[in-house]
Amino acid sequence: MKTEWTASTKLPLISVVVPVYNVKDYLEECVESILAQTYPNIEIVLVDDGSTDGCSTICDRYAAENGHVKSVHRENGGLSAARNTGIRECGGDYVGFIDSDDYISPVFYEALYRAIARSGAEMATVRYGVDFFDDEEPKLGSNVDAACEYELLTEEQYQEEILYQKSWAGAVWRLYTRELVEKVYFPEGLYYEDDETAYRFAHECEKVAVLKATDLYAYRQRPTGIMRGAFNLKKMESCLEITRRMRAKMAEWYPQLSNATCSRCFAICRVVFSQIPKEDKTAQLTMWKELQKYSTTVIHDPRARKKEKMAASISRMGCVPFRAFCDVYRRLLHAQ
């Protein structure tokens, strides 16, 4: 299949929402990768979330130089608030999200759009992207034919993939219809917004088009990110709230996915537990009790990820061995 866009082709507008906060070293690479898309009808909405490092100026410069770029400024309110602002400000028939320290293959949005157009799905997605660190340059796919191959999943099949982490939960992996994205706004004031919204987006779909390619999105790993960064109380509070909501909604919508839900909740809690300082015994005890709600189910679930089954098994030995496991795993993660 060859790209067949022409000057007369009437293509729907894709709005790409980019929340921006203190990423001066990365922002231009991100924006340039969106401007280089083979899909020709794209609007970029840069939402400056109160940056203090000069990103505001970069956003305004791109908007002044390119009529397809909009620069929006707001007081700092976090990732969810910035995304929600972008949804309100954008005019696209379809909406995508890109993190401002990442970048994408030139065929990323063409492939996602073609999958939606051909399948009639409300959402198209990749399962995951290519992890990289600042000193690395990941190679992304650029072959349109390969990128456009997809499989069609029911909402339940896709839910299961997310819960067992065969597909990553991040909002950035997908292209959404405008109607879909307006049904599920991001939870402001909480971390782990992708875990809160991924299953809600899927629930609103009858089917999801999943691209087979996994080399279309470059996902930057930074030590200050949510998954690798230092612990704070808001992380624990968000974790408890998000997993509580997930358990309640999944029990209502998909009781047959109870084991898968336990697996996902265990994984989220494990990450938070591993970040808690050893001297904070109160927070450790709170998260330890939460982990034990899921550990037995994860251990006996043949479909759970090996990493989660191992962690759950070690947790049954007690808090001290589990803490040691988390410390070792966290050091290995930071060493990558």
pLDDT tens digit string along 87-106? 999 999 999 999 999 999 99
Q: What is the DSSP letter of 99?
A: -
The answer to whether the beta carbons of residues 175 and 250 sit under 8 Å apart is no
The whole-model pTM stands at 0.94
Reply yes or no on whether the pLDDT at 335 is more than 50.
no
Tell me the C-alpha distance between 53 and 57, whole Å.
9
pLDDT of amino acid 294: 98
Mean pLDDT of 152-160: 98
List the structure tokens of 246: 């997930």
Residue 331: band (very low, low, confident or very high) from pLDDT cuts 50, 70, 90: confident
Mean pLDDT of 269-282: 93
Residue 201: band (very low, low, confident or very high) from pLDDT cuts 50, 70, 90: very high
Tell me the C-alpha distance between 303 and 213, whole Å.
23
| Average pLDDT in the chain | 94
Residue carrying the six token digits 């990423």: 23
Find the DSSP H helices in the chain. Answer: 27-35, 55-65, 79-89, 108-119, 144-147, 155-163, 178-181, 193-203, 233-253, 258-275, 281-292, 295-299, 306-315, 319-335
pLDDT of amino acid 116: 98
pLDDT of amino acid 229: 62
pLDDT of amino acid 2: 45
Longest dimension (CA), the chain: 66
Reply yes or no on whether the pLDDT at 231 is more than 50.
yes
Tell me the C-alpha distance between 154 and 152, whole Å.
7
pLDDT in tens, 248-267: 999 999 999 999 999 999 99
Pairing of strands 207-211, 42-49: unpaired
pLDDT of amino acid 12: 98
Share of the chain above pLDDT 90, in %: 90
Tell me the C-alpha distance between 284 and 76, whole Å.
30
Residue 327: band (very low, low, confident or very high) from pLDDT cuts 50, 70, 90: confident
pLDDT of amino acid 333: 63
Residue carrying the six token digits 């929006």: 72
pLDDT of amino acid 75: 97
Which fold, 14-220?
Answer: Spore Coat Polysaccharide Biosynthesis Protein SpsA; Chain A (3.90.550)
Reply yes or no on whether the pLDDT at 172 is more than 90.
yes
Counting every residue written for the chain, the total comes to 336
Q: Which of 47, 40, 38, 51 is nearest to 17 (CA)?
A: 47
* DSSP bridge partners of 136: none
pLDDT of amino acid 223: 67
First to last CA, the chain: 38
Mean pLDDT of 172-189: 97
pLDDT in tens, 300-317: 999 999 999 999 999 999
The answer to whether the beta carbons of residues 212 and 150 sit under 8 Å apart is yes
Mean pLDDT of 82-91: 98
Residue 328: band (very low, low, confident or very high) from pLDDT cuts 50, 70, 90: confident
Domain parsing of the chain, residue ranges: 14-220, 233-335
The alpha carbons of the chain give a radius of gyration, in whole angstroms, of 20
Backbone angles phi, psi at 67, to 5 degrees: -70, -10
Mean pLDDT of 61-77: 98
Residue 42: band (very low, low, confident or very high) from pLDDT cuts 50, 70, 90: very high
pLDDT of amino acid 194: 97
Pairing of strands 217-220, 103-104: antiparallel
* DSSP bridge partners of 123: 176, 208
Tell me the C-alpha distance between 70 and 16, whole Å.
10
List the structure tokens of 108: 């990323």
Tell me the C-alpha distance between 126 and 212, whole Å.
7
